[in-house]
Amino acid sequence: MKHLSGLLLSMVMSGSALASSPHGYGVHYIHGEGDVRGVKLAYQYHTKSWLPDNWHHVDMYFESSVNFWRFGDSGKYDQNFVLAVSPVLRYPVMTLYNRPLSIEFGIGLALLEDTEFAGKNVSTHYQFEDRLGLVYNLGEANIAMRYIHYSNAGFKSPNPGLDFLSLSYSSKF
């Protein structure tokens, strides 16, 4: 047992163990139009098995998240709870201070608790979650700036969509 706990501790403390782990997390601060603010907590599963062999520079992960959105001041505010899942592709575009800067793209599905939020009627609880972002690799972790858009893709009117900017920190565990 002592050897097993020592092995586990050395794996946790080792950067190579973190880099090879497929499991990760992300913490996002999100800010949307009309002063919508929120937090997005995400679990990430990193894989290359779904990609063609010649896409060796592309990284892929699946992100499952829970979002907590708030609109308005503390005395009178509107809130929304959102579950989302999205496949995400990441491709390095340049090196900045000897670290990769990547572009990221994903389209997933989201389930909104309320269809009326921040003065908008988005018609459906089911929405698409589209994202486009820049991700900077810090070695053991990443920081990212993303544009995230929620919309029902015109399946039902009205479809005004909800737009957010996200600043996030992510790492593997």
Which residues belong to the active site? 149, 151, 163
The pLDDT score that the predictor gives to residue 111 is 98
Instruction: Indicate the SS3 state at residue 119.
Output: coil
Q: How far are the Cα atoms of 99, 168, 170 from residue 29, in angstroms, in the given order?
A: 23, 6, 12
Kindly report, residue by residue over 93-150, the tens digit of the pLDDT: 999 999 999 999 999 999 999 999 998 999 999 999 999 999 999 999 999 999 999 9
The C-alpha atoms of residue 16 and residue 142 are separated, in whole angstroms, by 16
Question: CB–CB of 92/58 below 8 Å?
Answer: no
pLDDT tier, 19 (very low <50, low <70, confident <90, very high otherwise): low
Instruction: Indicate the SS3 state at residue 72.
Output: strand
Q: Is the peptide bond before 92 cis (omega within 30 degrees of 0)?
A: no
Secondary element (H or E) of residue 2: helix 2-13
Q: Is the pLDDT of residue 5 over 70?
A: no
pTM of the predicted model as reported, rounded to 2 decimal places:
0.85
Secondary structure percentages of the chain, helix, strand, coil, to 5: 10, 65, 25
The pLDDT score that the predictor gives to residue 1 is 45
Domain 29-172 has CATH 2.40.160.20: yes
Give the residue carrying structure tokens 């009309």.
34
The C-alpha atoms of residue 152 and residue 94 are separated, in whole angstroms, by 34
Q: Is the pLDDT of residue 169 over 70?
A: yes
The C-alpha atoms of residue 142 and residue 157 are separated, in whole angstroms, by 38
